Structure 1
Amino acid sequence: MSKPSQTARTRRAAHSQAQRQRILDAARQCFAERGFHAASMAQIAETADISAGLIYRYFSSKSELIHGIVEAQMQALAADIEARQQDTRPPVPCVMEILAQPCHLAGSGGDMPLEPTLKLEITAESRRDPLIAEVLARFSQQIDAAIAEWMSRPQAEGGFAVPPAKIAARSLALRALIDGLKQRLVREPEMDMAAVEAMLHDVLPRLMGD
């Protein structure tokens, strides 16, 4: 019996990836609408218009589905960080862009936002699920590394020119500020962003200054 051709293997791999992404998109929708524990694999299968049995060919559990969603988000973050490393604008416009930009799942064509409420639910679930906790820990490390690089960059290149000895503390402060504002925006989506921008112009120099 002849071996499958390279074209056939490539076609099967592409189909498998498309099915996996279809399931992830359906899971994201169901988790956002019903919550992590209320959404069932049967509902996810119905949303994806496939059989529940087919889901288990790609994902063994709901926890693994969440793992896949967070992994996709990490890929999107990595691409975003790489792009921002070339950004030489002042810090305030960059922070405003971070606050305004929704998180999108890699592989979904850029039109599949990760719902803010779902992000909070995933964070809460990480306290109970070691697999999700491990993924979020790596996700957090990527953010911390990007912020530390931003801290050390000269002001002329859009950074804060923070001395090496103070980078860890200042990075923690900026991360706390951004994370806090993002969670506030989940609760108050109509927040006055002009007021937020004015606050950043006032607070960031104080936060990063000696």
Structure 2
Amino acid sequence: MTTDTPAPTELDQALRLDVVDLVGRVGTHRHVERSVPAPGDEQIGSLAMTVPTGADITVEAELESVVEGIYVHGTVSSHLEGECSRCLDPVDQDVTARIGELFMYPEKVPAEEREDTALLEDDEAPLGPLVRDSLAMDAEERPLCRPDCPGLCSQCGFRMEEDPEHEHEVIDGRFAALQGFFANSDDSAEGTDPEPTEGTDAVDTNSTDRPGQDA
């Protein structure tokens, strides 16, 4: 059973390092520096902070030939941009992340393990996935414009920085129904005259009849 290999991106193609001069020469090493512009065909960084299209991604690394393959270690740096996770203002971040990977000779790795192993490809070390993962790990997941950013009102989006006392009246849901009930009761009671009790005769207070008087 075979699996489809994803097509290489612009970043993958730009960060393939030729190591033919090191292959099979255990103990030899070479320093490399390479800067490539961030491509526009993928998002590099985290969900919150990404490398803008065209911004430099710079790799400085040492390539060392070992028995199993080529060991690459050094740094990758770039500039990331995003939004404050509280107030949504623009924020940026300069990242310098450590990288380290042993790119194995394919013939030294069992076939069933190759899918999960970094391999040399045609005497080249493909740094794209390593660089991508390292920048993502060092990028802020919840960036802030400043540590004490008060953010936005969760109900209306008002900027709390402009008025720290801003608030909304909060009605306890347990009493909201009772407030409506009493309001309706008051409305129905206004303008209504009391009715006489059923079965009771009205008393004529103007009658001139008195007990013991002749009609």
Normalization by structure 2: what TM-score? 0.23
Which is helix-richer, 1 or 2?
1
Which is strand-richer, 1 or 2?
2
Rg: which structure is higher? 2
